[in-house]
Amino acid sequence: MITRIPTAANRLPLIGHGVQLARRRTEFLASLTEVGEIVEINMAGMPAYVLTDPDLVWRVLVSESHNYLRGRMFDKMTEVLGDGLATISGEAHRDTRRILQSTFHKRQIAAYGPVMSSIAADVAESWRAGQVIEIDDAMNDLTARVVNGILFSSDLGAAAADAIQRRLPVVMRGMLTRTLIPGAWQLLPLPANIRYRRSIEQMDSAIDAAIAAYRSSGADYSDMLTTLLSLKDETGNPMSDQWIHDQVITVAVGGIETTSAALSWCLRYIGTRPDLEQELHEELDAVLGDRPVELGHVMALKFLGRVVQEVLRMHAVAVFMRRTIGPTQLGSYKLPASAEIIVSPYTMHRSARWFPEHGRFDPDRWLRSETQNLPKGAFIPFSAGHTKCIADNFAVLEITLALAEICRRWRLRPVPGQAVREVTTGATRPNRLTMRPELRSPVTE
């Protein structure tokens, strides 16, 4: 039996659901769970199908993934990421993922732990009580330093690290808007378009210069760029500079904004909910005492783990895409060839069916039976299947270490009168988050 696919309400001629996608993206996506298991929307003339049913998500990402390639969003990302792991499909993806796996292996991630906690300690130590801090910027700074610290430990990479830190936010903003609102406006010499192109060029040339400098030095700096330079393809040849360039920029695009968004939301909830803050402080005192956080503490920080998990549920990535290779049967639905499919972790995590009171921030939902038996595909902060985030363990470790280091020293209080809303670029982050640190208790080391 073939089931008809419903269309989302309020579609306008020409622009389709462009207004909802531009102005109220997350509310619009979350509302689709009420419309159907799969819902047709229109992105300024281009139809796309949003999945809201866990079984359909699982088929597309895992059990029937051979029927799909990456979709339109990834075509746009190719302008920036080239043949980086996050944009390629099929055999090329499988080979690249195999080659890169060692850089994100559990043992390797453990070696990144001290870099992560020392950068977090440095950021937390730089704050003064009562100072007004733009937390969203500070967290972006922190995660950019972590990614850059892991990519380039030598000064030969300093200019590349600086370009990534300063230029990437402009590129991230441009990339999602270009995907969701297609059109010739992208080619016009508008200031935003010029800034976008220039930022890409600056990052590209700084990364190329770092690769050339590392190659000619030939030294082992025990960082990710040294590892990338040492990797070999299946015929035993070293990887090309362009391949290395594409993986470096992919790690920066994948790893900075996503983790900084999660960190910012965690700090907001902890700073505005005294019940959460108290439970967290009790846990930090019991596990860390007066000591700085280390890798060995992470497993014992169970409440903090639930806070992180709940943030990954509530403020998940809004959209990633797939495209059917040919005419495709998906469950009881029929899709044409080259149909654009939207997988939205955000939408899935806002389903009242799987997450009762889904709009409530409730870390303890992860202790209750309702979350123990979730269907596959209902909770997908890092996607699933062969394209699942290669750095999921890296990300959770980084977020946990940073929060422990910040929260053992500071209580962060929101500056009154600020309405915080979600904005989506690569991640779903707060538009702005201003807080003041209050010293919790003297920290001895």
Using CB under 6 A as the criterion, which residues of the chain lie in contact with ligand HEM when the complex forms? 85-86, 97, 147, 250-251, 254-255, 258-259, 262, 317, 320, 381-383, 387, 389-391, 394-395
Rounded Cα distance between 423 and 25, Å, is 8
Closer to ligand HEM by Cβ: residue 152 or 320: 320
Q: Which of 61, 123, 127, 57 is nearest to 89 (CA)?
A: 61
Closer to ligand HEM by Cβ: residue 99 or 395: 395
Q: How far is the CB of 94 from ligand HEM (least distance, A)?
A: 9
In the numeric block, which tokens belong to residue 352?
Answer: 């009242």
- Kindly give, in sequence order, each residue whose CB lies less than 8 Å from that of residue 346, ignoring residues fewer than 6 positions away: 26, 29, 30, 315, 316, 317, 318, 319, 424, 428
Q: How far is the CB of 308 from ligand HEM (least distance, A)?
A: 9
Rounded Cα distance between 12 and 14, Å, is 6
The helix, strand and coil proportions of the chain, stated in percent and rounded to the nearest 5, come to 60, 10, 30
CB 308 within 8 A of CB 399: yes
Closer to ligand HEM by Cβ: residue 199 or 250: 250
Q: How far is the CB of 150 from ligand HEM (least distance, A)?
A: 7
Q: How far is the CB of 384 from ligand HEM (least distance, A)?
A: 7
Strands 333-335 and 328-330: antiparallel
Q: How far is the CB of 131 from ligand HEM (least distance, A)?
A: 27
Closer to ligand HEM by Cβ: residue 65 or 193: 65
Q: How far is the CB of 426 from ligand HEM (least distance, A)?
A: 8
Closer to ligand HEM by Cβ: residue 18 or 345: 345
Q: How far is the CB of 275 from ligand HEM (least distance, A)?
A: 24
Q: How far is the CB of 311 from ligand HEM (least distance, A)?
A: 9
Ramachandran angles phi, psi of 48, nearest 5° = -145, 155
Angle between helices 135-151 and 241-255 (to 10 degrees): 150
Write the DSSP symbol of residue 12. Answer: B
Query: Three-state DSSP class for 114?
Result: helix
Rounded Cα distance between 308 and 304, Å, is 6
Closer to ligand HEM by Cβ: residue 18 or 54: 54
Using only C-alpha atoms, what is the Rg of the chain? 22
Rounded Cα distance between 306 and 318, Å, is 21
Closer to ligand HEM by Cβ: residue 258 or 347: 258
Closer to ligand HEM by Cβ: residue 16 or 310: 310
Rounded Cα distance between 344 and 380, Å, is 9
